[in-house]
């Protein structure tokens, strides 16, 4: 049996290694058009930023070590230029020797990856304008910065890689600007979570420009001029294009294999393409989103590695394991802040026509009495009927990653918010609180579903009419330091004695700093006969971050 794999790195290399573990006697050949077969793609920005100082640590395996350990024929610098499914052959070109030849296969695996977007803007091919996708790109960028003594960097695109590059270039002393065409960074998360991260980025002295489109570049003696649609011009010694990627499907289309609705390689539940002897894994494939049911692609190393293992199982053992899709669990560090997401964001659920409720909670990363506790924000989206957890987004400092992993495990298995409330965690004061932030998220969602809590959101202040009442239940000191216009201050501890100031026939809107005191005030009012009482989800802090980052200001503004 002869297996050929086109493309290495995460999906291809993991498929090859698993194939060998299952079939010691098969002939296995990997074709990789680049120089390296298995490297830490996610570590590349941190090598540029000198966080990872030893370049060799980026490499998981070399072609020689992979061959020695797994007895696999690894052909680097060799690009597959054509696939003939009818003849079960591929055509390859060795870029070192120029040789072009054909190779037969019994089973073929495509690990074609994704290619970075380079829109046809004037001057985009000039010196000092880079994409970051592989080791070669990394070497070029690092060398260019050092050789040209770069001082100003412009990063186009506010996605995960763009933000990692911003942090790392800032860390080695460059003045950094981020240009994002949309109204927020980090497209996979919802706006309120992005707003928190944007505020943090600005606090680090990074120039963040939203709703800004680049129209072109001009090469000058000391670098590039970057032209924006609004007429502004930025000077840059180096430009990083982080606009996004798309599945690399050129080979597949030319071979007549099926392309799916999401423009990725169509695969079935066993990772087979439209040709039963050709399988595919990694960034180029599309599959059904387990939450929305819609076709999607994902550009993450975790799913690619898991797909490789499943793919090899199915090739050798005969389609024994289904791939159940990925819920796009992703995380990024932005300076000293961590933000992560899992499942389908509220905006994606809305686009898919899936009814849901959003709840945002704020909790300490560990017990407040133990030094170092910091605020963590968790936003979840869930079904209004059975409480199925559709998604979670976490932003915070210490411990944000472990909360995201817990939430992802529940989303993945179609669990509910009731599981969050009952989740049993390892507790000691330096790690958590007796009620973990995950529990708190579950408690609040449960209260919403059981009609003990009614919420409104940062962008719904236009609901508040002239006859309604907005109450700030924080302390007088907090109220004076910053409030929402037209709010009266009745601190939570005084609310029972001041019910005479709150007309029972009015609709009442309440807010506090993070949400808890507002909930307590709401419970007091509801049990004293007030019918229409709503609490601001996420509290004043989240509202303020959203307002400061919003170009479409709601009715009220900060005092």
So which residues are the catalytic ones? Answer: 42
Q: Distance between CA 412 and CA 326 in Å, rounded? A: 8
| Nearest C-alpha neighbor of 297 from the set 332, 259, 250 | 259
| Nearest C-alpha neighbor of 532 from the set 444, 454, 448 | 454
DSSP H or E stretch at residue 537: none
State the helix-helix crossing angle for 301-317 and 9-22, rounded to 10 degrees.
Answer: 30
Tokens 């943090």 -> residue:
200
User: In this structure, are residues 389 and 407 in contact, taking their beta carbons and an 8 Å threshold?
Assistant: yes
The contacts of residue 158 (CB under 8 Å, 6+ apart) are: 178, 180, 182, 184, 185, 186, 208, 210, 242
Burial of 121 by CB count in 10 Å (0-12 exposed, 13-18 middle, 19+ buried)?
middle
Helix, strand, coil distribution of the chain in percent, nearest 5: 30, 30, 40
DSSP secondary structure, 158-227, as one string: -SHHHHHHHHHHHHTT-EEEEE-SSSSS-TTS-HHHHHHHHHHHHHTT-EEE-S--EEEEEEETTEEEEE
Sign of the C-alpha dihedral computed for residues 18, 19, 23 and 29 taken in this order:
negative
CA separation, residue 192 to residues 120, 195, 445 (Å): 32, 5, 18
Q: Half-sphere exposure (CA, 13 Å, Cβ side) for 497? A: 4
**Maximum Cα–Cα distance across the chain:** 89
CA separation, residue 520 to residues 46, 164, 456, 497 (Å): 45, 40, 15, 15
Q: Distance between CA 294 and CA 297 in Å, rounded? A: 10
User: In this structure, are residues 538 and 192 in contact, taking their beta carbons and an 8 Å threshold?
Assistant: yes
Burial of 484 by CB count in 10 Å (0-12 exposed, 13-18 middle, 19+ buried)?
buried
| Rg (the chain; Cα; Å) | 27
User: In this structure, are residues 217 and 122 in contact, taking their beta carbons and an 8 Å threshold?
Assistant: yes
Q: Distance between CA 380 and CA 315 in Å, rounded? A: 38
Neighbours of 203 (CB within 10 A): 10
Q: Distance between CA 528 and CA 200 in Å, rounded? A: 41
Q: How far apart, in Å, do the first and last CA atoms of the chain sit?
A: 73
Pairing of β 330-334 and β 337-343: antiparallel
């Amino acid at each position: 049996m002869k297996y050929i794999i086109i493309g290495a790195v995460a999906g291809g290399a993991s498929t090859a290694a698993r194939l060998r573990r299952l079939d010691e006697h098969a002939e296995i050949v990997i074709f990789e058009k680049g120089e390296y077969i298995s490297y830490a793609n996610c570590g590349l920005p941190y090598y540029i930023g000198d966080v990872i100082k030893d370049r060799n640590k980026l490499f998981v395996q070399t072609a020689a070590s992979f061959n020695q350990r797994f007895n696999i024929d690894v052909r680097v610098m060799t690009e597959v230029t054509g696939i003939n499914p009818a003849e079960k052959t591929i055509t390859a070109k060795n870029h070192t020797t120029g040789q072009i030849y054909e190779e037969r296969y019994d089973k073929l695996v495509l690990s074609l990856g994704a290619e970075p977007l380079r829109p046809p803007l004037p001057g985009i091919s000039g010196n000092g304008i880079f994409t970051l996708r592989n080791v070669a790109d990394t070497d070029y960028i690092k060398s260019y910065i050092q050789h040209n003594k770069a001082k100003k960097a412009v990063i186009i695109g506010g996605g995960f890689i763009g933000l990692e590059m911003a942090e790392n270039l800032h860390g080695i002393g460059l003045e950094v600007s981020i240009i994002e065409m949309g109204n927020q960074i980090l497209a996979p998360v919802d706006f309120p979570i992005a707003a928190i991260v944007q505020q943090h980025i600005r606090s680090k002295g990074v120039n963040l420009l939203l709703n800004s489109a680049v129209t072109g570049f001009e090469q000058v003696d000391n670098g590039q001029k970057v032209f924006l649609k609004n007429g502004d011009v930025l000077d840059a010694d180096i430009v990083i294009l982080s606009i996004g990627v798309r599945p690399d499907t050129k080979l597949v289309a030319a071979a007549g294999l099926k392309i799916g609705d999401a423009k990725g390689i169509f695969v079935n539940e066993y990772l087979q393409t439209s040709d039963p002897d050709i399988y595919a894994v990694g960034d180029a494939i599309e599959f059904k989103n387990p939450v929305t049911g819609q076709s999607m692609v994902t550009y993450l190393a975790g799913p690619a590695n898991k797909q490789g293992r499943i793919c090899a199982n199915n090739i050798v053992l005969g389609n024994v394991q289904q791939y159940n899709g990925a819920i796009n669990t992703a995380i990024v560090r932005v300076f000293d802040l961590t933000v992560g997401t899992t499942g389908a964001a509220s905006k994606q659920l809305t686009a898919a026509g899936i009814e849901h409720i959003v709840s945002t909670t704020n909790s300490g990363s560990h017990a407040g009495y133990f030094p170092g506790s910091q605020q963590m924000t968790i936003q979840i989206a869930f079904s209004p009927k059975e409480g199925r957890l559709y998604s979670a987004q976490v932003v915070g400092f210490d411990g944000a990653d472990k909360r995201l992993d817990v939430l992802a495990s529940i989303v993945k298995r179609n669990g509910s918010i009731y599981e969050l409330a009952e989740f049993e965690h390892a507790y000691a004061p330096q790690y958590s609180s007796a009620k973990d932030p995950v529990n708190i998220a579950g408690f609040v969602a449960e209260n919403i579903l059981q009609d003990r809590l009614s919420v409104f959101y940062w962008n719904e202040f236009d609901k508040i009419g002239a006859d309604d009442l907005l109450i700030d239940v924080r302390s007088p000191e907090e109220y004076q330091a910053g409030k929402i216009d037209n709010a009266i201050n009745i601190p939570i501890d005084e609310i029972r004695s001041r019910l005479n100031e709150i007309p029972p026939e009015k609709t009442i809107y309440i807010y506090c700093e993070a949400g808890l005191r507002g909930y307590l005030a709401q419970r007091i009012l509801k049990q004293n006969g007030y019918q229409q009482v709503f609490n601001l989800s996420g509290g004043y802090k989240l509202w303020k971050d959203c307002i400061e980052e919003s170009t479409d200001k709601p009715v009220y503004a900060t005092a």
